[in-house]
Protein backbone atom coordinates (compact mmCIF):
# COMPACT_ATOMS: atom_id res chain seq x y z
CA UNK A 1 0.00 0.00 0.00
CA UNK A 2 1.92 3.03 -1.21
CA UNK A 3 -1.09 5.34 -1.19
CA UNK A 4 -4.04 5.78 1.15
CA UNK A 5 -7.02 3.67 0.07
CA UNK A 6 -9.76 5.67 -1.60
CA UNK A 7 -13.16 6.04 0.02
CA UNK A 8 -14.59 3.59 -2.51
CA UNK A 9 -11.97 1.02 -1.55
CA UNK A 10 -12.84 1.35 2.11
CA UNK A 11 -16.55 0.93 1.48
CA UNK A 12 -16.11 -2.05 -0.78
CA UNK A 13 -13.97 -3.92 1.73
CA UNK A 14 -15.73 -2.90 4.93
CA UNK A 15 -18.56 -5.50 5.22
CA UNK A 16 -16.48 -8.58 4.42
CA UNK A 17 -13.65 -8.34 6.95
CA UNK A 18 -15.93 -7.66 9.98
CA UNK A 19 -15.93 -11.32 10.96
CA UNK A 20 -12.23 -11.53 10.09
CA UNK A 21 -11.49 -8.60 12.41
CA UNK A 22 -13.42 -10.26 15.24
CA UNK A 23 -11.73 -13.61 14.60
CA UNK A 24 -8.22 -12.12 14.65
CA UNK A 25 -8.99 -9.96 17.67
CA UNK A 26 -10.36 -12.94 19.60
CA UNK A 27 -7.30 -14.90 18.51
CA UNK A 28 -5.01 -12.28 20.05
CA UNK A 29 -7.18 -12.01 23.15
CA UNK A 30 -7.08 -15.76 23.66
CA UNK A 31 -3.42 -16.37 22.79
CA UNK A 32 -2.14 -13.55 24.97
CA UNK A 33 -4.90 -13.78 27.58
CA UNK A 34 -3.76 -17.31 28.35
CA UNK A 35 -0.35 -16.00 29.38
CA UNK A 36 -2.12 -14.62 32.46
CA UNK A 37 -1.48 -18.15 33.78
CA UNK A 38 2.22 -17.37 33.58
CA UNK A 39 1.74 -14.07 35.40
CA UNK A 40 -0.39 -15.62 38.17
CA UNK A 41 2.13 -18.40 38.65
CA UNK A 42 5.10 -16.00 38.59
CA UNK A 43 3.45 -13.70 41.12
CA UNK A 44 2.59 -16.59 43.44
CA UNK A 45 6.14 -17.89 43.09
CA UNK A 46 7.49 -14.45 44.01
CA UNK A 47 5.45 -14.43 47.23
CA UNK A 48 2.69 -12.09 46.02
CA UNK A 49 -0.71 -13.06 47.49
CA UNK A 50 -3.61 -14.14 45.26
CA UNK A 51 -5.65 -10.93 45.90
CA UNK A 52 -2.55 -8.84 45.16
CA UNK A 53 -1.86 -10.68 41.90
CA UNK A 54 -5.49 -10.23 40.86
CA UNK A 55 -5.44 -6.53 41.81
CA UNK A 56 -2.39 -6.06 39.55
CA UNK A 57 -4.13 -7.66 36.56
CA UNK A 58 -7.35 -5.71 37.19
CA UNK A 59 -5.77 -2.30 37.87
CA UNK A 60 -2.32 -2.17 36.25
CA UNK A 61 -3.26 -4.27 33.20
CA UNK A 62 -0.07 -3.99 31.20
CA UNK A 63 1.72 -7.32 31.20
CA UNK A 64 5.38 -6.35 31.14
CA UNK A 65 4.96 -3.92 34.05
CA UNK A 66 3.11 -6.54 36.08
CA UNK A 67 5.86 -9.14 35.59
CA UNK A 68 8.49 -6.53 36.48
CA UNK A 69 6.68 -5.40 39.64
CA UNK A 70 5.98 -8.92 40.90
CA UNK A 71 9.53 -10.03 40.08
CA UNK A 72 11.20 -7.06 41.76
CA UNK A 73 9.05 -7.23 44.89
CA UNK A 74 9.59 -10.97 45.05
CA UNK A 75 13.35 -10.51 44.74
CA UNK A 76 13.22 -8.13 47.70
CA UNK A 77 13.77 -4.88 45.80
CA UNK A 78 12.79 -1.66 47.57
CA UNK A 79 9.22 -0.68 46.67
CA UNK A 80 10.15 2.66 45.00
CA UNK A 81 12.69 0.94 42.73
CA UNK A 82 10.20 -1.80 41.88
CA UNK A 83 7.51 0.76 41.04
CA UNK A 84 9.94 2.85 38.96
CA UNK A 85 10.93 -0.17 36.88
CA UNK A 86 7.31 -1.13 36.25
CA UNK A 87 6.42 2.46 35.40
CA UNK A 88 9.27 2.74 32.90
CA UNK A 89 7.93 -0.30 31.10
CA UNK A 90 4.49 1.29 30.79
CA UNK A 91 5.70 4.58 29.27
CA UNK A 92 5.41 3.17 25.75
CA UNK A 93 1.63 3.00 26.20
CA UNK A 94 1.57 6.81 25.95
CA UNK A 95 2.99 6.57 22.43
CA UNK A 96 0.40 3.94 21.56
CA UNK A 97 -2.34 6.25 22.84
CA UNK A 98 -1.06 9.03 20.59
CA UNK A 99 -1.49 6.84 17.52
CA UNK A 100 -4.73 5.23 18.69
CA UNK A 101 -6.44 8.56 19.26
CA UNK A 102 -5.87 9.30 15.54
CA UNK A 103 -7.02 5.90 14.36
CA UNK A 104 -10.03 5.49 16.67
CA UNK A 105 -11.23 9.14 16.97
CA UNK A 106 -12.84 8.39 20.31
CA UNK A 107 -15.45 10.73 21.84
CA UNK A 108 -14.08 12.55 24.87
CA UNK A 109 -16.37 10.67 27.29
CA UNK A 110 -15.13 7.25 26.14
CA UNK A 111 -11.41 8.06 26.44
CA UNK A 112 -11.02 7.42 30.19
CA UNK A 113 -12.59 3.98 29.73
CA UNK A 114 -10.66 3.09 26.58
CA UNK A 115 -7.39 4.23 28.17
CA UNK A 116 -7.24 1.19 30.45
CA UNK A 117 -7.02 -1.06 27.38
CA UNK A 118 -4.24 0.89 25.62
CA UNK A 119 -1.55 -1.81 25.53
CA UNK A 120 0.76 -3.60 23.06
CA UNK A 121 -1.79 -6.08 21.76
CA UNK A 122 -4.75 -3.74 21.27
CA UNK A 123 -2.44 -1.29 19.47
CA UNK A 124 -1.03 -4.01 17.21
CA UNK A 125 -4.53 -5.19 16.24
CA UNK A 126 -5.75 -1.63 15.65
CA UNK A 127 -2.72 -0.75 13.48
CA UNK A 128 -3.42 -3.80 11.31
CA UNK A 129 -6.95 -2.65 10.34
CA UNK A 130 -7.73 -0.98 6.99
CA UNK A 131 -10.29 1.58 8.22
CA UNK A 132 -11.74 3.30 11.28
CA UNK A 133 -14.74 0.98 11.80
CA UNK A 134 -12.50 -2.08 11.69
CA UNK A 135 -9.97 -0.34 13.95
CA UNK A 136 -12.63 0.42 16.57
CA UNK A 137 -14.00 -3.12 16.38
CA UNK A 138 -10.54 -4.66 16.62
CA UNK A 139 -9.57 -2.48 19.57
CA UNK A 140 -12.79 -3.24 21.47
CA UNK A 141 -12.86 -7.00 20.87
CA UNK A 142 -9.15 -7.41 21.64
CA UNK A 143 -9.39 -5.23 24.75
CA UNK A 144 -12.48 -6.98 26.13
CA UNK A 145 -11.40 -10.56 25.44
CA UNK A 146 -7.87 -9.96 26.65
CA UNK A 147 -9.01 -8.16 29.82
CA UNK A 148 -11.49 -10.86 30.81
CA UNK A 149 -9.19 -13.77 30.03
CA UNK A 150 -6.04 -12.18 31.48
CA UNK A 151 -7.81 -11.62 34.80
CA UNK A 152 -9.35 -15.11 34.90
CA UNK A 153 -6.06 -16.82 34.08
CA UNK A 154 -4.21 -14.66 36.62
CA UNK A 155 -6.56 -15.98 39.30
CA UNK A 156 -6.21 -19.58 38.15
CA UNK A 157 -2.46 -19.27 37.67
CA UNK A 158 -1.97 -17.75 41.13
CA UNK A 159 -3.92 -20.61 42.70
CA UNK A 160 -2.49 -23.59 40.91
CA UNK A 161 -0.23 -23.14 37.93
CA UNK A 162 2.30 -25.47 39.49
CA UNK A 163 -0.04 -28.29 38.41
CA UNK A 164 0.21 -27.14 34.78
CA UNK A 165 3.95 -26.97 34.79
CA UNK A 166 5.96 -24.15 33.23
CA UNK A 167 4.31 -22.32 30.28
CA UNK A 168 7.71 -22.65 28.60
CA UNK A 169 7.15 -26.40 28.26
CA UNK A 170 4.24 -25.67 25.97
CA UNK A 171 6.10 -23.05 23.96
CA UNK A 172 3.68 -20.36 25.14
CA UNK A 173 6.49 -17.85 25.69
CA UNK A 174 6.83 -17.72 21.88
CA UNK A 175 3.17 -16.66 21.46
CA UNK A 176 3.76 -13.03 22.51
CA UNK A 177 6.48 -12.15 19.97
CA UNK A 178 4.68 -14.17 17.25
CA UNK A 179 1.51 -12.14 17.86
CA UNK A 180 3.44 -8.89 17.33
CA UNK A 181 5.18 -10.27 14.24
CA UNK A 182 1.92 -11.39 12.65
CA UNK A 183 0.19 -8.09 13.37
CA UNK A 184 3.12 -5.96 12.18
CA UNK A 185 3.32 -7.77 8.85
CA UNK A 186 0.75 -5.62 6.98
CA UNK A 187 2.45 -2.43 8.27
CA UNK A 188 5.87 -3.67 7.15
CA UNK A 189 4.56 -4.54 3.69
CA UNK A 190 3.13 -1.02 3.49
CA UNK A 191 6.28 0.94 2.74
CA UNK A 192 10.01 1.44 2.86
CA UNK A 193 9.84 3.91 5.72
CA UNK A 194 8.06 1.36 7.92
CA UNK A 195 10.57 -1.35 7.03
CA UNK A 196 13.53 0.94 7.70
CA UNK A 197 12.04 1.82 11.10
CA UNK A 198 11.59 -1.87 11.93
CA UNK A 199 15.16 -2.83 11.00
CA UNK A 200 16.65 0.10 12.89
CA UNK A 201 14.47 -0.54 15.97
CA UNK A 202 15.57 -4.19 16.06
CA UNK A 203 19.23 -3.18 15.78
CA UNK A 204 18.92 -0.52 18.51
CA UNK A 205 17.21 -3.01 20.82
CA UNK A 206 19.95 -5.63 20.33
CA UNK A 207 22.62 -3.01 21.06
CA UNK A 208 20.87 -1.51 24.10
CA UNK A 209 19.63 -4.74 25.71
CA UNK A 210 22.95 -5.89 27.24
CA UNK A 211 23.80 -2.36 28.44
CA UNK A 212 20.69 -0.75 29.92
CA UNK A 213 18.24 -1.62 32.71
CA UNK A 214 14.84 -3.26 32.09
CA UNK A 215 12.38 -1.11 30.18
CA UNK A 216 14.94 1.33 28.79
CA UNK A 217 16.13 -0.64 25.71
CA UNK A 218 12.61 -0.67 24.22
CA UNK A 219 12.37 3.10 24.66
CA UNK A 220 15.80 3.55 23.04
CA UNK A 221 14.56 1.48 20.09
CA UNK A 222 11.68 3.95 19.68
CA UNK A 223 14.32 6.48 18.55
CA UNK A 224 14.29 4.57 15.25
CA UNK A 225 11.15 6.53 14.30
CA UNK A 226 12.62 10.07 14.46
CA UNK A 227 15.93 8.82 13.01
CA UNK A 228 14.19 7.38 9.95
CA UNK A 229 12.19 10.57 9.47
CA UNK A 230 15.39 12.61 9.73
CA UNK A 231 17.18 10.42 7.16
CA UNK A 232 14.11 10.56 4.94
CA UNK A 233 14.11 14.34 4.96
CA UNK A 234 17.81 14.56 4.11
CA UNK A 235 17.79 11.70 1.60
CA UNK A 236 16.53 11.66 -1.99
CA UNK A 237 12.98 12.02 -0.70
CA UNK A 238 11.23 8.79 -1.55
CA UNK A 239 7.64 9.24 -0.43
CA UNK A 240 6.55 6.74 2.19
CA UNK A 241 3.04 5.69 3.09
CA UNK A 242 0.43 8.40 3.21
CA UNK A 243 -0.61 8.75 6.83
CA UNK A 244 -4.29 8.16 7.39
Partner 1 sequence: MTVWIAIVVTAVGAYAVKLLGLSVPAGVLERPLVKRLAALVPIALLVALTVQETFGGTGRALVVDARAVGLAAATVAVVLRAPFLVVVGAAVVVTALVRHVGGAM
Scan residues 1-60 and list those touching partner 1 (CB under 8 A). Answer: 24, 27-28, 31, 48-49, 52, 55-56, 59-60
Residue 124 touching partner 1 (CB under 8 A): yes
Tell me which of 15, 76, 107, 177 binds partner 1, using CB under 8 A.
Answer: 177
Q: State which of residues 1, 22, 156, 182 lies at the interface with partner 1 (CB under 8 A).
A: 182
Residue nearer to partner 1 on the CB measure, 11 or 192: 192
Q: Please pick, from the candidates 1, 22, 50, 127, the single residue that binds partner 1 as defined by CB under 8 A.
A: 127
Apex 20 CA angle, 191 and 4, nearest 5: 30
CB 115 within 8 A of CB 97: yes
Return the exposure string of 154-185: e unless at least 16 CB atoms fall within 10 Å of the residue's CB, then b.
bbbbbeebeeeeebeeeebeebbeebeeebee
Residue in 149, 148, 99 with CA at minimum distance from that of residue 120: 99
Q: Residue 87: CB partners within 8 Å, gap ≥ 6?
A: 65
173 binding partner 1? (CB under 8 A): yes
H/E stretch holding 78 reads: none
What is the number of helices (H) and of strands (E) in the chain? 14, 0
Measured from the CB atom, is 14 or 241 closer to partner 1? 241
Check binding of 229 to partner 1 (CB under 8 A): yes
Question: Which residues in the 128-167 window bind partner 1 by CB under 8 A?
Answer: none
CB of 82 to partner 1, least distance (A): 6
> Which residue in the set 4, 75, 148, 202 belongs to the binding site for partner 1 (CB under 8 A)?
202
Amino acid sequence: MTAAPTTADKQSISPAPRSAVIRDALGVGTAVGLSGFAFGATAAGAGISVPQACAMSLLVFTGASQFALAGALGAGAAAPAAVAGAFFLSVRNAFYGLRLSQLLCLPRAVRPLAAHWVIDETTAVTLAQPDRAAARLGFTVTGASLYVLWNLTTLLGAYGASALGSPQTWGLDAAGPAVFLALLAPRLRAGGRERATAVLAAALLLMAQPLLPTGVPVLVAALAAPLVLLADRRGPGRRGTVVR
